[in-house]
Amino acid sequence: MDVLSYKGFIYMNTQVKFISAVISTILYSQASLAQAVPADSTETMIVVGYQQHYKIDQAHAAMRSDVSLLETPQMVTVIPSEVLEDQLAVTLGDALRNDASVSLGRVTSDRERFSLRGFSLEENTNILKDGHQHFAKYRMPMALIDNVEVLKGPSSLLYGQSAPGGIVNLVTKKPSNESSVKFAVKGDDHGSFRNSIDATGSLNDNKTIRYRAIIEQQNNNSWREYQDGSNLESESVVGSLVTEFDVTDALTIALHYDKLDDVSGQDSGALVDDNGNVIGGDSTIWDMPWTKIDAQSENYGVDVTYQVNSYWQVATGYNNQHNERERWESKPQTGKYDPLDGSYGNKPYNKLEDWQQQSFYFDLMGSVTTGSINHELLVGGNYLAHEYTSLKVKDKEKLDGNINDGTIIEQPVLDYADPKAESKSEDYKYYGVYVQDLVTLNDQWQVLAGVRYDRQDKTDANNNAVLPKFGVIYHPQDNASIYANYSESFEPLGRVLDDGPSGNNGMELDPVKGKMYELGTKWQVMDNKLAINAAIFDITRSNIKLTKDADDGDGDVTTQGGEQHHQGVELSAIGKVSSNLSLITSVMYLDAKYAKHNELEGNRPEDVPEWTASIWSKYVFTEQLSVNLGAYYEGERYGDEDNKFLKDSYIRIDTGINYQTSVAGNALQLRLNIDNLFDTDYLAGGENGEVNVGEPRTFKFGISYTL
């Protein structure tokens, strides 16, 4: 158990047993129902073959209604479940690499960080789960996810405070009317294994009560090693249960619950010298082998939809999320690294953190026709309450390690009762109301107009904003659209609390504002089986907080006035090129810089490349055999805000083969993938001079059997 705590191990096994018991109970109920079916019922045939669904025509989160992507004046990418399965995706980063507008930033054992169109995807505002605001400060497993929607540009009209790059919505797997149970095992040549059960179906004869139960247990081994020669290891278990009840033909109630428990060692990344060379070797972890992150995330809630009549629908929902995390960190001080003797400092600490988040939404959707003009109306509101507490105790001394001889420092004894322990708490509430109208003037012209009032009540300050959105859509033919839109974003900041004596302590900061202009086009070709999209965009993020030294040299002075300016071009295609070939591909050119800043003016933001591209393809030879080939390109980008360290561009090639057959009348699927086929050396994301080294060639396998 080296890295894993006994407590965490026992807890995870308890969760496995509990959720397994739930699944077993449901399966038993299914079996009982099956026995009740008359003997002369129609027999169900298991069909083995490929169902290519790379192209999806709707993204519910984009308009909070079932409007097609052709009628959505915004660049949107939907990464479908078939792509995630083909790639044996394990993390959100695995999924988002299929969109060139998303860049993976620094990855640590507890979470992944991303940027979208060059702007940070904030963990507490820019990630949604089934349309609910989701606190994403953990590594989200893909076992529960059906597809991923990437909404480009400001989305504050419908979701409130968020950065202007866009929003990612995770669409979870939902119950099905038809019964099935899928057993799956995945793994790789590093020794990682992932075992899962996915069961779904109806619990009564008329199929008005449906369920989906999923459990996955992971035992992961990293290719990177601590300085004592041990590998980074982690164990996690995630389980979910979703039930849907058709109370009447018009009323549906859906209940959901999921829980993740994750225990892992820590890996803060690698250190590079001024020439971009990794210090200490690609596989060397600077953290101590006793570091540990023990995290739990629990979600539960309810969603209700009611079809009032043929024209109007009400949708409402509530979600409660609770995250806990304990972090034992050695905190290597790589900035104090001495290249002459290999020494570097460590400042160990232990930290307990707790997040509570409740969200609620209410939407009224309807269709109104006045003469020849149709209005698709949305009136709604959402609310979020967020609470955070932490307790941190630090070692009193800086402890020296050495990357040359692998010096291991002992884990210090730290006590939360220490009077010098640091406690912190934060809470805020925000809510917004919005109106959106998609007006169809005729077969060719549509107009979108919307406005939101948003308010945040925070411990140290209150903020509010009025946010408009406008769009115009022209359809030159039924399978195409050309659009233009204008939208805004809103990021509250609060008050200045930590300036020096001559600073601006107590000053209430204005919200950071984002504004975007976008012009794009969407075409459905190849008998509407292939979607081709293009857009040019111009985004400005203003009112950025600035910090400078006080004139008297005593502390800092905080002001505002910083500005980022990002403009670029995106192209994408997704769907079937022929009856045998499907693909998802995209490319983005991005000109990004700090237009106004007291220290960074003219600089390019950290880890934001000028060019990015991705392609993943699938060729079906027979109903049983298919192959995949993918390529991912990331251009040169700076590894620090000062633009002193430049990372090289790289191309990574992935491939895979998939075989499906029938065994005992049930579907068996065998998959073998190779990530980084040519074992390309590259530097991935990073932060403050620390980087993630790209994973070497990795063999992955997947086996599934569906009853």
Question: What is the tens place of the pLDDT at every residue in 151-196?
Answer: 999 999 999 989 999 999 999 999 999 999 999 999 999 999 999 9
Q: What percent of the chain lies above the pLDDT cut of 70?
A: 91
Give pLDDT, residue 556. 78
| Residues linked to residue 629 through DSSP beta bridges, in sequence order | 617, 655
Cα distance between residue 667 and residue 686, in whole Å:
42
What is the pLDDT at residue 614? 98
Residues whose CB falls within 8 Å of the CB of residue 160, separated by 6 or more in sequence, listed in order? 125, 133, 382, 384, 430, 431, 432, 452, 454, 490
What does the pLDDT look like over 489-509, one tens digit per residue?
A: 989 887 776 666 656 777 888
Q: Is the pLDDT of residue 5 over 70?
A: no
Whole-structure pTM over 0.85, yes or no? yes
Is the pLDDT at 573 greater than 70? The verdict is yes
Question: DSSP state, 69?
Answer: G
Strands across the sheet with 332-333, in order? 332-333, 343-346, 399-402
Q: Sorting pLDDT into bands at 50, 70 and 90, what band is 415?
A: confident
189 contact partners, CB below 8 Å, separation of at least 6: 698, 699, 700
pLDDT at 690: 78
pLDDT band at 443 (very low <50, low <70, confident <90, very high): very high
Which of 279-288, 437-446, 662-671 comes out lowest in average pLDDT? 279-288
Beta carbons of 594 and 615 less than 8 angstroms apart:
no
Q: For residue 19, what are its two tokens?
A: 């959720």
Does residue 483 have a pLDDT over 90? yes
- Between strands 581-596 and 209-225, the pairing is unpaired
Q: Which residue bears the tokens 């993630």?
A: 692
**Residue 420 confidence class, pLDDT cut points 50, 70, 90:** confident
Residue in 216, 211, 276, 269 with CA at minimum distance from that of residue 241: 211
H or E element in which residue 7 lies: helix 6-36
Least confident of 242-251, 390-399, 587-596: 390-399
Which range has the worst mean pLDDT, 336-350, 472-486, 490-504, 572-586? Answer: 490-504
Q: How far apart are the first and last CA of the chain?
A: 35
Q: For residue 520, what are the β-bridge partners?
A: 483, 535
Mean predicted confidence (pLDDT) in 203-207:
93
Taking only the tens place, the pLDDT of each residue in 633-643 is 999 999 888 89
* Cα–Cα distance measured from residue 185 to residue 180, given in angstroms and rounded to the nearest whole number: 17
Amino acid at 43: E
Q: Do residues 145 and 196 make contact, with C-beta atoms less than 8 angstroms apart? A: no
- Tens of pLDDT, residue by residue over 619-634, are 999 999 999 999 999 9
Type of residue at 701: F
Beta bridge partner(s), residue 469:
450, 487
What are φ and ψ of residue 288, in 5° steps? -80, 150
What is the radius of gyration, based on Cα positions, of the chain?
26
DSSP code of 334? G
- The pLDDT, as a whole number, for residue 499 is 62
> Residue 120 in contact with residue 167, Cβ under 8 Å?
no
Average per-residue pLDDT for the chain: 89
Domains and CATH numbers, the chain: 6-39+55-613+621-706 (2.40.170.20)
- Cα 576–chain centre separation: 26
CA angle 615, 618, 623 (to 5 degrees): 175
Q: Is the pLDDT of residue 481 over 80?
A: yes
Confidence of residue 36 (pLDDT cuts 50, 70, 90): very low
Tokens linked to 542: 């203003």
